[in-house]
Structure 1
Amino acid sequence: MTKIPLKEGFKVLKENPLNPAGLGPGGFQLPRSPFCIFHNEENKGMLRKAIAGCTVHAPWRMIAIRPSTTTATSAVDSILLRSLRDHYQEVAKMTPPPKVSPPSSFTIVKGALENNGPVLKRSYGHEEINIYVMRLAQHYEDDDVIDQLFLHVDVSKPGQKNSMQFLCGLYPDALGIHSVSLRPKLEADGSLQDPSKYNGPVFGDLDERMRDEFHSYIEERGINSDLFLFLQAWLYVKENRNLMRWFRSVGLFVTDQKSTKGA
């Protein structure tokens, strides 16, 4: 194995900061797909730069393993902190999307930006409707991607143990239902429960007339493409906050010397 002097190793570290990983949004489990959402091309390019700058371009196994010293640790920490700070500032410079309000029949759930619960809610007669949202994974190599959001729509009624839940794909000009199921009502904190019994047929196996009737059912309750612009902007803000919080939290962890002093 070829050994590289520690000084050159630091140079490799500086030029090739680590991938932060785990930056995707939280929420209910859904399949990955090559769709992504950006407010505009400028933000798209800046976010690419911020995350791509974290990619490893050199094999770490080439760096010789040497006994750790206080000086070496301090130097490595400084390099990492500088990278975290630079990427934090890069994301902070992104221009936020114009403020968009949801349709008047919906209200924004308090604290939605800080948790993985519902984003919007409304009452429809004696029904309570909650909307969860997430976006699909990003694949930057394809610029001709289609904006698509995943919605989890929960329709509940008083006195009923179960609620009717729809998993939908939302586009700027359309909405499609992927599945319909009856499941236990949401927990008090808004979290989703795993299904424990048969939840219905594959939606595509239903006859066309019944599928159309289900679409009419949720559209009558305001679940349609009018939600897209607000939810797209909302996700942009949430993901930027999460990314900046991650950079800051990791930086604070690296700079914390309490555990070292107490050792």
Structure 2
Amino acid sequence: MWRQAFGGALQPWRMIASRRSSSVSSAVNSMLIRSLKEHYFEVSKMTPPPKVNPPSPFMIGKGALDNNLPVLKRAYGDEEINLYVMRLANIIPGGGDDDGDDGINQLFLHVDISKPGQKDSLHFLCGLYPDALGIHSVSMRPKLETSGFFVVPTTYNGPVFRDLDEGMRDALHGYIEERGINESLFPFLQAWLYVKDHRNLMRWFKSVGTLVDEPTQASGA
């Protein structure tokens, strides 16, 4: 009897609490969506850097802005050369934050050199700066198709580059420089990364806003 009396009396309070919770949630969502829209339009008004063309004979890879595809491509004799680029901060969160412009001016360049009929390709990981290019590692890896450069080698990855003797290191530097891979690529790749970062940021604001604003579907409906 007591349960029936108090149980009936509590129902309106439960309804009020539920409505209040729904109202607060709606207000929070609206605040977030408004903030996302403001940031989206603010970013959309940012002035892009001047257009920079890649050094000849490199060509811009199609679809690279939206996928992990080669940024630059070229042929060298019977070789196919694909270049991928990333910032230090994209690999190590916060990388370069304490170094002023160093984080912006330090790019990681992945160079993939392959030949017809060969199942593996020669892969260079390089540090690219406005005035220099340094090799971090050289390895043999499976040929890249559409998966980007995130391929983990399953066999011996080669010696540590700094442990090679000076003559071998110089020869490997000469090998990629002969193929046009040097600091002259920096202006284009830096500008290209700015455009990609800008596009990704705008897409992120829009995607989060769409998810938050999407009406919740009742379960079991």
Using the size of structure 1 for normalisation, the TM-score is: 0.71
* Counterpart among 47, 53, 65 of residue 113 in structure 1: 65
Letter in 1 for 2:117: G
Give the gaps of 5 or more residues in structure 1: 1-65
Q: Indicate if the aligned counterparts of 1:187 and 1:193 stay in contact, CA closer than 8 A.
A: no
Give the gaps of 5 or more residues in structure 2: 1-16
Equivalent in the alignment of 1:129: 81
- Taking the TM superposition and a 5 Å limit, the aligned residue runs for 1:215-226 are 215-226=173-184
* Counterpart among 28, 34, 53 of residue 82 in structure 1: 34
The structure number with the bigger radius of gyration is 2
Letter in 1 for 2:86: M
Query: Hey, what's the Cα distance between the residues in 2 that align with 1:208 and 1:142?
Result: 29
- Taking the TM superposition and a 5 Å limit, the aligned residue runs for 1:185-224 are 185-224=143-182
May I ask how many residue pairs the two structures share in their alignment?
A: 198
Compared CA separation, residues 191 and 134, structure 1 to 2 (3 A): closer
* Counterpart among 206, 209, 218 of residue 248 in structure 1: 206
- Pick the structure with more helix per residue: 2
Equivalent in the alignment of 1:103: 55
Secondary structure, counterpart of 1:250 in structure 2? helix
Secondary structure, counterpart of 2:136 in structure 1? strand
Compared CA separation, residues 234 and 207, structure 1 to 2 (3 A): same
State the 1:70 CA deviation. Answer: 2.2
Q: Indicate if the aligned counterparts of 2:84 and 2:109 stay in contact, CA closer than 8 A.
A: yes
Query: Hey, what's the Cα distance between the residues in 2 that align with 1:225 and 1:219?
Result: 9
* Counterpart among 119, 135, 145 of residue 102 in structure 2: 145
State the 1:215 CA deviation. Answer: 0.2
State the 1:191 CA deviation. Answer: 4.8
Letter in 2 for 1:237: V
Compared CA separation, residues 198 and 226, structure 1 to 2 (3 A): same
What CA deviation, in whole Å up to 9, does each residue of 1:180-239 have, x standing for no partner?
A: 011111134545421001011000000001100000000000100110000000000001
Equivalent in the alignment of 2:3: none
Query: Hey, what's the Cα distance between the residues in 2 that align with 1:113 and 1:76?
Result: 33
Query: Hey, what's the Cα distance between the residues in 1 that align with 2:197 and 2:146?
Result: 25
Q: Indicate if the aligned counterparts of 1:186 and 1:192 stay in contact, CA closer than 8 A.
A: no
State the 1:250 CA deviation. Answer: 0.8
Query: Hey, what's the Cα distance between the residues in 1 that align with 2:98 and 2:160?
Result: 32
The yes-or-no answer on 1:158 pairing with 2:110 is: no
State the 1:255 CA deviation. Answer: 1.1
Query: Hey, what's the Cα distance between the residues in 2 that align with 1:188 and 1:115?
Result: 9
Letter in 2 for 1:83: S
Misfit runs of 4+, over 2 Å: 66-70, 138-146, 187-193, 260-263
Q: Indicate if the aligned counterparts of 1:172 and 1:225 stay in contact, CA closer than 8 A.
A: yes
Q: Indicate if the aligned counterparts of 1:131 and 1:154 stay in contact, CA closer than 8 A.
A: yes
Secondary structure, counterpart of 1:232 in structure 2? helix
Equivalent in the alignment of 2:14: none
Letter in 2 for 1:69: S
- Root-mean-square deviation (CA, aligned residues, Å) is 1.9
Using the size of structure 2 for normalisation, the TM-score is: 0.83
State the 1:257 CA deviation. Answer: 1.1
